[in-house]
Amino acid sequence: MAISKISNGGVATSGLPTGTVLQTVTNATAGAVSNGTNTSLGDISNFTVSITPTSASSKIFVSVSCLVTNTLVSGANVAVAFALLRDSTSLASTIASAQSGSGGLQIRDSVAFSNLDSPNTTSAVTYKVQGNTNNASSGYYVSSGRIVVMEIAG
């Protein structure tokens, strides 16, 4: 897991035009991020990032990407759901699924989604990804995950 932060280097943000990227924070990993068999949404370990906006009028652009696979289950339809949250507030969601025949199918998919958030605060906020499967017999695996947040001048 590598967390990195790029900021504006101490330049005053008050005179910058709307839409200027003020800071970027990312959390990326090349290996496995998490695996699970939970059927209710739960945090995916190491898939979080925190940012402290410099202005309450700033927007936060969040981009999430990862690879997802699941354990093969014969004769079962399998879906893995993902949700993006700011602290405890749900912002976006997506699903990866495989419809099975008698031999079964396996999910091997890339997942990406984004959100433009308005947290209206200058306190630290944490963005995280949660996941779950609809079939506890089919564990899911998340790898090569990346979550990037950018503060945009409002």
Q: CA-CA distance, 28 to 70, in Å (whole number)?
A: 21
Q: Which of 83, 20, 25, 19 is nearest to 52 (CA)?
A: 25
Give me the pLDDT at residue 101, please.
Answer: 59
Task: Tell me the Cα Rg of the chain.
Answer: 18
- Give residue-wise pLDDT tens across range 109-123: 889 999 999 999 999
CATH class of 20-152: mainly beta
- Check if the beta carbon of residue 115 is closer than 8 Å to that of residue 93: no
Query: Which of the pair, 116 or 98, is modelled with greater confidence?
Result: 116
- Give residue-wise pLDDT tens across range 26-79: 998 776 677 788 899 999 888 899 999 999 999 999 999 999 988 877 777 888
Average model confidence (pLDDT) across the chain: 85
Structure token digits, residue 113? 């989604």
- Check if the beta carbon of residue 25 is closer than 8 Å to that of residue 62: no
pTM: predicted TM-score of the whole model, two decimal places: 0.84
Q: CA-CA distance, 9 to 25, in Å (whole number)?
A: 14
Structure token digits, residue 92? 């976006």
Q: Which residues, 6 or more positions from 53, have their beta carbon under 8 angstroms from its beta carbon?
A: 60, 119, 121, 122, 125, 151
- Check if the beta carbon of residue 80 is closer than 8 Å to that of residue 131: yes
> Domain residues of the chain, as ranges?
20-152
- Check if the beta carbon of residue 1 is closer than 8 Å to that of residue 132: no
